[in-house]
Amino acid sequence: MDPQNDILRLGLFGGTFDPIHRGHVDVGEAVRAHFALHRICLIPAAQPPHKHTLTAAADRLAMARLAVKGRPGWEVSDVELRRAGPSYTIDTVAHFKRRSPPRARLFFLLGSDAFLEFNTWKAYSTLIREVALIVLARGGCDEPSSAAFVDRIQRFMTRHFPPGFRWDADTGAFIHPETYPVYLFDGPRLAISASEIRRRIARGDDGRPWLDPAVADYIERKGLYR
């Protein structure tokens, strides 16, 4: 940690990671630098309530570990794989809050596509009072300009979030006097998704341009997505 600030700043990065690709790691590195996070923790989901995964959780966990092996400031948690039933973010955040030191600052990273379904998440109105959110712009999914990205998120929050949030350009967040901010991060965008990588591998194309070499080797060795 920064010797001048011993308050832990931890980024929780959940997802199916099916497979984890360069876009996940590149944007995570950018978030870590921008928000001065001490660590980012990748949290592969076991049974995501909103997605159907094609690959065994053990394989997705292994690929996540390979993708960040040797990278300072990164770790991988199997907390959702060890917990029975669907992977609910509210439970995961509670787990990390229990394990973190007092006054720790927790941030939950999620793609804009997931955020625009946030109102369907379990106890989402409680979750926004438990952790700061960092909403990540996604290549091919969001408007091309940052202003349009902000407008799209604002329209959603007006419909589904408590009143009182307002956009603050200086902090790059929707802030509220009584709860955590919702930050928007329009950082590195990879114009390909994990689902597209799976489709390309399935038809015999090379997925290596978008994958860590160790992850690509693992996929080939295990015959995943074929």
In a domain, 2, yes or no: no
In a domain, 1, yes or no: no
Cα-Cα end-to-end distance for the chain: 43
- With bands split at pLDDT 50, 70 and 90, how would you rate the model's confidence at 160? very high
- With bands split at pLDDT 50, 70 and 90, how would you rate the model's confidence at 18? very high
Beta-carbon neighbour count of residue 82 at 10 Å? 8
Quick: pLDDT tens for 88-105: 999 999 999 999 998 999
- With bands split at pLDDT 50, 70 and 90, how would you rate the model's confidence at 148? confident
Of 226, 116, 114, 134, nearest to 180 by C-alpha is 134
In a domain, 221, yes or no: no
In a domain, 30, yes or no: yes
Structural domain harbouring 115: 9-195
Q: What is the mean pLDDT of residues 147-166?
A: 94
| pLDDT for 208 beyond 80 | yes
In a domain, 140, yes or no: yes
- For residues 164 and 3, the model is more confident at 164
Q: How many structural domains is the chain composed of?
A: 1
Instruction: Say if residues 108 and 91 touch (Cβ distance below 8 Å).
Output: no
In a domain, 92, yes or no: yes
Dig out the tokens for 168 from the structure.
């603050």
In a domain, 143, yes or no: yes
Q: What is the mean pLDDT of residues 59-66?
A: 97
Model pLDDT, residue 4: 41
In a domain, 211, yes or no: no
Identity (one letter) of the amino acid at 76?
Answer: V
Q: Quickly tell me which residue has 């202003």 as its tokens.
A: 147
For 160, counting Cβ atoms within 10 Å of its Cβ (0-12 exposed, 13-18 middle, 19+ buried), the class is middle
Give the separation between CA 10 and CA 31, rounded to whole angstroms. 11
Model pLDDT, residue 197: 95
Model pLDDT, residue 51: 66
Q: What is the mean pLDDT of residues 53-72?
A: 93
Give the CATH number, domain containing residue 130. Answer: 3.40.50.620
User: pTM to 2 decimals?
Assistant: 0.92
| pLDDT for 5 beyond 60 | no
| DSSP designation for 7 | S
Model pLDDT, residue 3: 37
Quick: pLDDT tens for 83-142: 888 889 999 999 999 999 989 999 999 999 899 999 999 999 999 999 999 999 876 555
